Chain A
Amino acid sequence: MNTNFIPERAIIRTIVHENEQISTFRLELINKNVPFTFLPGQFLMLSVPHCGEAAISISSSPEALPLFDLSIRKAGELTLAIHKIQEGDQVGVRGPFGTPFPIEEFASKNLLFIAGGIGLAPLKSVIDHCLFQSSTKEDAAGSITLLYGSRSPSDIAFRQVIELWKKQGVDCRITVDEKDSSWNGNVGLVTDLLSRCATDSNTRSLVCGPPIMIRFVISQLSAMGCDDTAIFTTLERHMKCGMGLCGHCHLDGKLVCIDGPVFSLSQLKRLDVTEFSR
């Protein structure tokens, strides 16, 4: 019997409207006897009725299980369809898949998160996880910094959780490419925020966002003296199976769904990654 492509049923418990384009769907498996756990950076194959499957990063941390979040931007057929789904409706999930962030390596390090737009989703899982692991507010205050860029003030997603993180001591700095009358915060690219940050050998940087942002942030981090093994990103690729069979995410001898999606810069430099060569 082929169960490779058969998902587990999940119910949508709550939907958080992050902005016009992005919502966070809080899910729970219907069959509570299915063993299900994951680590930050892993993804699921999400089934939406009649729309097939798409690879989506898990945006919550494992501590929130049995609930888990998928933060989804309206981009194509499936992602548009899920935005029409309501609380209590069912979807399917397979997974988790992929290599997570090396979280053990992050203990007692200063963590610098740099995200653009929906790119905060996979990093949010890491931040939540680290906050859960940090015993005191002071612990987090000294060690976690978030630089978050959005196109405009109305594009800023994850506002609720960012407010929560601030209360928990995370140094959150937000910037927008273009301001409007409501905005009196930073204006400019996320790289402008980065140039006002200091890094040292104890810093681990986690970068996720549009390819062009990743490219500029990574080269800036390198120029600031960060080691290639201390910079991590997570790649987006078209995927059809999530388990190393379909071939879509093949990248220079590696499979992004198995060997990634999380890669260190030192791993990426050995691969022919177009994001960084254009």
Chain B
Amino acid sequence: MIDLKELILEKDNLYPLLRKLMKDARLIAPVENEFGDTLFSVIDDIDTTKIDLTNQPQESLKPFFLPQQETVASYTIDEGEYSFTPPPPALQTIFFGVRSCDLTALLYMDLIFSKPVKDATYYDRRNHSLIITLGCNQPFDNCFCEATGSGPYLEYGYGLQFIDLGDCFYVSAGRSKGADLLKKWSYFFREVEEDDQKRRYQLLLEARGQFTKNIQVAHACRKLQKEPVTEEIWEQLSSRCYDCGGCAYVCPTCTCFSVDDTPIDRNSGLRIRSWDACTSSGFTRMTGGDNPIDRSRHALKRRFLHKLKYDFSSHGKASCTGCGRCVDICFGGVDITTFIDLFTKQETV
């Protein structure tokens, strides 16, 4: 009797398996484009596409569940009748090669988009998705997922988790959709042997030892529950923030959005949801110009406190997944790790 929760997939069987999976669902995986950027892409022809499992995808899964811009409704004004139509339903999609941090972010988005009401578009996409993750054997330069409890390997939340053992993948099934898939395509897999388990464990230990950044995330979260951040720190960070929104856009857990109507013609238009971010000055500005946030001092306050103080107190965990993308993108050098560093060194009053 084969244990369907954990199996081995020889690398030669990967593409044949994916080819089968593509018959029932759209496949999205990291692909390096002609400019050398690795991005999650829809795989149309797997025989001519090389899936890139070496580099960190530049974007997270966020754009596929909360697109940068999406139509949430269309409207018409027909002889005075003002009516709305919902968007088309989501496509069945399998995501392959997702990193642990990015799935952790998706689990956080599940929370955000379910309370107090369920976000229908998000959950439509979520219910039509299966996530296959790839554990990280080699953290990237700016990664610190070990400090945020979101990697390098995962214990739950995935459909399937792949661990690269060199010539094969160690595959674990998490959610039932993943187990169903292993069962359906069991002839591609072989049983796990004791040696495979040893290699997997060894690789995990090695991966944990390779982080170069030591970010005190948990310490910062606990300290934030007890003491305020000095105005000097906020001002220092704000003075180096250029309001570009880059951190929030690449962040897999920044889910704030705007909703605006865009006319198509006199009698119709689209209701568009688009990414927005608390680091932008217009985010809190009200009709008439009043703004309750003083950007010159508090440009980054909401963002960091939300992730590290409020989410820690309400979910027991920071909503930073240690993916390191904001560290890559912030040209002012005032990413979340800078804040954590400054605050954890702040002397307790």
Do A and B truly interact?
yes
Instruction: List A contacts of B314 (CB < 8 A).
Output: 253
Contact between B89 and A244 (Cβ–Cβ < 8 Å)? no
Contact between A240 and B257 (Cβ–Cβ < 8 Å)? yes
Contact between A274 and B292 (Cβ–Cβ < 8 Å)? yes
Smallest Cβ-Cβ distance to A258: which chain B residue: B116
Instruction: List A contacts of B293 (CB < 8 A).
Output: 274
Is the CB of B18 closer than 8 A to any CB of chain A?
no
**How close is A246's CB to chain B, nearest CB, in angstroms?**
5
Is the CB of A53 closer than 8 A to any CB of chain B?
yes
Is the CB of B331 closer than 8 A to any CB of chain A?
no
Is the CB of A4 closer than 8 A to any CB of chain B?
yes
Contact between B310 and A253 (Cβ–Cβ < 8 Å)? yes
Is the CB of B294 closer than 8 A to any CB of chain A?
yes
Contact between A211 and B259 (Cβ–Cβ < 8 Å)? no
**How close is A99's CB to chain B, nearest CB, in angstroms?**
12
Contact between A237 and B82 (Cβ–Cβ < 8 Å)? no
Contact of B313 among A1, A7, A89, A253 (CB under 8 A): A253
Is the CB of A137 closer than 8 A to any CB of chain B?
no
Question: With A and B bound together, what is the CA distance between A78 and B259 in angstroms?
Answer: 13
Is the CB of A248 closer than 8 A to any CB of chain B?
yes
Contact between B260 and A52 (Cβ–Cβ < 8 Å)? yes
Given the interface contacts A2-B86, A49-B75, A237-B292, does A250 sit within 8 Å of B285 by beta carbon? no
Q: What total of chain B residues lie within 8 Å of the partner, measured CB to CB?
A: 51
Is the CB of B107 closer than 8 A to any CB of chain A?
no
Contact of A90 among B82, B86, B258, B292 (CB under 8 A): B82
Contact between B259 and A2 (Cβ–Cβ < 8 Å)? no
Is the CB of B156 closer than 8 A to any CB of chain A?
no
Main secondary structure of the interface of A (DSSP, over half): loop
Question: With A and B bound together, what is the CA distance between A47 and B260 in angstroms?
Answer: 10
Instruction: List A contacts of B16 (CB < 8 A).
Output: none
Is the CB of B72 closer than 8 A to any CB of chain A?
yes
Smallest Cβ-Cβ distance to B271: which chain A residue: A5
Contact of A1 among B75, B112, B120, B257 (CB under 8 A): B120
Smallest Cβ-Cβ distance to B80: which chain A residue: A90
**How close is B190's CB to chain A, nearest CB, in angstroms?**
43
Question: With A and B bound together, what is the CA distance between A248 and B273 in angstroms?
Answer: 13
Contact of A54 among B75, B255, B287, B302 (CB under 8 A): B287
Contact of B258 among A1, A246, A253 (CB under 8 A): A246
Question: With A and B bound together, what is the CA distance between A274 and B293 in angstroms?
Answer: 7
Is the CB of B198 closer than 8 A to any CB of chain A?
no
Instruction: List A contacts of B120 (CB < 8 A).
Output: 1-4
Residues of A61-116 contacting chain B, CB below 8 A? 75-76, 78-79, 88-92
Is the CB of B115 closer than 8 A to any CB of chain A?
yes
Is the CB of A166 closer than 8 A to any CB of chain B?
no
Question: With A and B bound together, what is the CA distance between A3 and B123 in angstroms?
Answer: 12
Contact between A7 and B84 (Cβ–Cβ < 8 Å)? yes
Contact between A1 and B86 (Cβ–Cβ < 8 Å)? yes
Contact between A5 and B72 (Cβ–Cβ < 8 Å)? yes
Instruction: List A contacts of B287 (CB < 8 A).
Output: 54, 75-76, 78-79, 238
Is the CB of B117 closer than 8 A to any CB of chain A?
yes
**Interface-side segment among B48-56, B200-208, B276-284, B341-349:** B276-284
**How close is B274's CB to chain A, nearest CB, in angstroms?**
10
Contact between A52 and B288 (Cβ–Cβ < 8 Å)? no
Is the CB of B286 closer than 8 A to any CB of chain A?
yes
**How close is A235's CB to chain B, nearest CB, in angstroms?**
9
Instruction: List B contacts of A197 (CB < 8 A).
Output: none
Instruction: List B contacts of A7 (CB < 8 A).
Output: 84
Interface string of A1-27 (1 = CB under 8 A from B): 111111101000000000000000000
Contact between B288 and A76 (Cβ–Cβ < 8 Å)? yes
Is the CB of B4 closer than 8 A to any CB of chain A?
no
Contact of B113 among A6, A9, A245 (CB under 8 A): A245
Question: With A and B bound together, what is the CA distance between A258 and B115 in angstroms?
Answer: 11
Contact between B257 and A246 (Cβ–Cβ < 8 Å)? yes
Is the CB of A188 closer than 8 A to any CB of chain B?
no
**Can you report 20 residue pairs joining A to B where beta carbons are below 8 Å apart?**
A2-B73, A2-B120, A5-B259, A9-B82, A9-B83, A49-B75, A49-B77, A50-B261, A76-B287, A238-B284, A238-B285, A238-B287, A240-B276, A246-B256, A246-B257, A247-B255, A248-B256, A250-B306, A258-B116, A273-B292
Further 20 A-B residue pairs, CB within 8 A, beyond A50-B263, A52-B271: A2-B86, A2-B87, A3-B86, A6-B73, A6-B84, A47-B75, A52-B261, A53-B259, A211-B290, A240-B259, A243-B117, A244-B116, A244-B117, A245-B113, A245-B119, A246-B257, A246-B258, A253-B305, A273-B292, A275-B292
CB within 8 Å of A: which residues of B? 72-73, 75, 77, 80-84, 86-87, 89, 112-113, 115-117, 119-121, 124, 255-261, 263, 269, 271, 273, 276, 278, 283-288, 290, 292-294, 302, 305-306, 309-310, 313-314
